[in-house]
Structures are given as C-alpha cells and as structure tokens.
Amino acid sequence: MMPTYNAQIAMIGFIHRLRVYFREMFPLPARMLNAVLLFISFSTMLTIVCGISAEFDWRLIFVGSFNAFVIVLILRLMDELKDLDIDRRLFCERSVPSGKVQESDIKFSLIIAVVLFVLVNAIVQTAFWSALGLLTYSFLMFRYFFMPSKLSGKLLVNLTTHNPVVALLLLYFIHLHASWYSPKTETIFQFQSIVLVGMYWGLFLSWEISRKIRYSHEENEYVTYSRIFGRTGATLISGLVQTFSFGAGLWLSYHFGLSPIYVGVLLIGFITLVITYVRFLRLELPSSRQLKLASERYAAIVMSAPLIDLLVKGIIENVSF
C-alpha cells in the first residue's frame, strides 16, 4: 500500500503546484475565454467575407477553441522551459525559478497537453494534418529550429521565426472550416481570407512587441524592443502593426458590407489604443505594462466587433414597433 500512498501524495503535490502555476502564469478562465473569442470571431468574419452559408455548430466551436487554447498552453509551457535560465537570473520571483513549481511539473504538463491535442484531433479527424503541422511547428520553435546558437537570445530573429505560429493557427481555422463545411476551394482561399489572417495576426504581433517595450528605468539585462529601437521607435512599430489591423478591418467592412456598428467598435478600440500610446510616449503612464494591457484590450475589442455587430442587429430586427 505504501507505493500507492506515496503516489497519491505526489499527485496531490503536483496538482497544488499546477494550480499555483496557472494562477500566476496562465490564468485558465481568461485563456479559455480568449481562445473561444478568437475562434468564434475569426469564424464569423470568415463566413462573412467568403460568403459561406453555415449554421451555428457547437462541435466546430469546441474543436477550434480547444485547439486554440491547447496550442497556446503548449507554447507557454515550452517557453517556460526555454527561458528557465533567463528567469532564474532576472525574474526569480516567478513560479518556477522561485521553487513554487518544479521544472518536472512543467515537463509533465507539456506531455499531457500534447497527448490531449493529438488525441482530440485524431478522434475528430477534421483538418488533422493541419493541426499536426501546427504542433510540429511549435516543436521546431521549442528546439530553436535546431539552430540554438543562431536563434537563442536574438529577439528580432526569434520574432521572425516564432510569431508566424499565429498565422499558422489562423490558417488552420480556415482549413477546419473548409473541411467542416466543404465549400469550394476558390470560395474560401481568396485574397480576402489572407487579409483577414493578416488583420488578426497583427493583433498578436503587436501584442508580442508591446509587451517587450520598457521605460528606461525599467530596463535590465532582458532584451527588449525598446533597447533595440528606442522607446519611441518600438512604440511606433507596435502602433503601425495595429494600424494595419485597423485598416484591414475597415477594408473588409467596406468591401463586404459590414455595418456601421462594426466600424464604430473598431474605431472606439483604435482611439483608446492611440490615447494610451500617446500617454506612454509622454511618460504619463505608471508603468510600461500599460502598453501590454492596451494591446490586449484592443485585440479583445477587435475580436468582439463582429459579435457585437450581430448581437445589436439581432436585437434591432426583433424589436416590435
């Protein structure tokens, strides 16, 4: 009975440490909500710009949202292992360097996440090879594409090689829809689909840049974009990417007849973002973390825009005069 008792104690300890990790580094409710919002928002826009007649399908939402959530979790766990030495030197208060969570916990969690990802996609089978390609690219990122000496610690090179995983996730969404609803290939793989991918990709690219911009007094050994381009230059680069996403949204709205409600929501989000950027450049924000939060807020507003549009139009159509 002793081995069984020890195994139970070990499992209880693992679950406790995992709860600590998720609470501090990867809040599950927020990440799950983000995954569902991303998939539903992108799917809604895809059906609009590609003219796909599709009914609401909970199974499709589950598969797409599940894959979005789990692949982000896999990437987070991989980054935890890749950045462990840096975290021990510069961010020793974090859960793993501080000892609150063990390195073995991260490795075991990563194995579980990968197995779940493969099993679910093998059972569903829809767009299986696309999902497997997404997972393979994630592992190549984890191994620095087998060129650690050329990629490790090089921020711009890593951005170029790692951030495209977002575009691959969005292309997986397109492939999933193509497999699920079986529209003609020329219906779904068109120029507007690429613009849509670029629009949503820009939201995450700008977030990746903005979270590594610092005030001068906040800088340390950690390599940031503000150390490379200067605080103003890095902020402008992040802003330009977000401006591209805003412009792509306006272009799609104009060419595919999205309502003024959609445009209004985009405009509100963009104006709020610009105000935050101006305040940051004028040294009026308490910390550079506000840039990251502003990028997250803007992404949430943009992804919510098509859903708000549908909701408001549905309310208007059902109002009796």
Average pLDDT over residues 248-257: 94
Among the candidates 184, 204, 222, a domain finishes at 184
Distance from C-alpha of 261 to C-alpha of 307, rounded to nearest angstrom: 10
Does pLDDT of 320 surpass 60? no
Does pLDDT of 10 surpass 60? yes
Distance from C-alpha of 305 to C-alpha of 312, rounded to nearest angstrom: 11
- Is residue 265 included in any domain, yes or no? yes
Which of 51 and 201 is assigned the larger pLDDT? 201
Taking all residues of the chain, what is their mean pLDDT, rounded to a whole number? 91
How many structural domains comprise the chain? 2
What is the per-residue pLDDT for 321? 45
Q: How confident is the model at residue 230 (pLDDT cuts 50, 70, 90)?
A: very high
Does pLDDT of 310 surpass 90? no
Torsional sign, CA 137, 298, 255, 36:
positive
Q: Which domain holds residue 280?
A: 190-315
- Picking from 48, 22, 76, the residue whose alpha carbon sits closest to that of residue 40 is 48
Residues 23 and 171 grouped into a single domain: yes
Residues 136 and 168 grouped into a single domain: yes
Among the candidates 184, 215, 238, a domain finishes at 184
- Picking from 170, 181, 196, 203, the residue whose alpha carbon sits closest to that of residue 294 is 203
Residues 162 and 196 grouped into a single domain: no
What is the per-residue pLDDT for 37? 97
Average pLDDT over residues 273-284: 96
Distance from C-alpha of 2 to C-alpha of 15, rounded to nearest angstrom: 20
- 246-249, long-range: CB within 8 Å, 24+ apart, which pairs? 246/270, 246/302, 248/195, 248/196, 248/198, 248/199, 248/202, 249/199, 249/302, 249/305
Among the candidates 150, 184, 218, a domain finishes at 184
Residues 112 and 219 grouped into a single domain: no
Does pLDDT of 153 surpass 90? no
- Is residue 255 included in any domain, yes or no? yes
Distance from C-alpha of 121 to C-alpha of 129, rounded to nearest angstrom: 9
DSSP state letters, 129-160: HHHHHHHHHHHHHHTGGG-HHHHTT-HHHHHH
Check which CATH number belongs to the domain holding 165 and give it: 1.10.357
For 286, the 3-state DSSP assignment is coil
- Is residue 29 included in any domain, yes or no? yes
Residues 6+ away with beta carbon under 8 Å from 42? 170, 173, 196, 200, 303
Does pLDDT of 9 surpass 90? no
For 126, the 3-state DSSP assignment is coil
| pTM for this predicted structure | 0.92
Average pLDDT over residues 205-211: 96
- Is residue 3 included in any domain, yes or no? no
Residues 82 and 173 grouped into a single domain: yes
Q: Are 302 and 271 in contact (CB under 8 A)?
A: no
What is the per-residue pLDDT for 289? 94
Does pLDDT of 110 surpass 90? yes
Residues 168 and 230 grouped into a single domain: no
Residues 227 and 81 grouped into a single domain: no
Amino acid at 86: I
